[in-house]
Amino acid sequence: MSLPDDPVLLQRKRLARLAQVGQRCGYCSFLIALVIFAIGFMTSFTNAVAISLVILLICGSFFLAPSIVLHHAVKAADDLDKE
């Protein structure tokens, strides 16, 4: 049905990979922020801990939100092709 050289499918595959990398980066940022929060909560919650939490949460949101939208767009395009 589809050729492996189809430029649309190749572009979609690249975008799916980009979405996956973005999701991993976003979720890893949130995980690191959670660990830093736990460490800061158990020890002393300094300004450095608070600043790193804010930066990690902003970076995680920056990566994760567009990646989720892109993932759903690629998935919807795949579903339309199957119909």
pLDDT (tens digit, 9 = 90+) per residue, 19-66?
999 999 999 999 999 999 999 999 999 999 999 999 999 999 999 999
The angle subtended at Cα 38 by Cα 33 and Cα 41, nearest 5°, is: 120
**Tokens in use for 53?**
């939490």
pLDDT value of position 5 = 80
Q: Residue 2's pLDDT band (boundaries 50, 70, 90)?
A: low
- Distance between CA atoms of residues 83 and 72, nearest Å: 17
44 — phi, psi (to 5°)?
A: -115, 130
Determine the Cα–Cα distance for residues 53 and 41; give it in Å rounded to an integer. 12
CA dist 82 and 12 (Å) reads 14
* pLDDT beyond 70 at 1: no
pLDDT of residue 17: 96
pLDDT at residue 8 is higher than 90: no
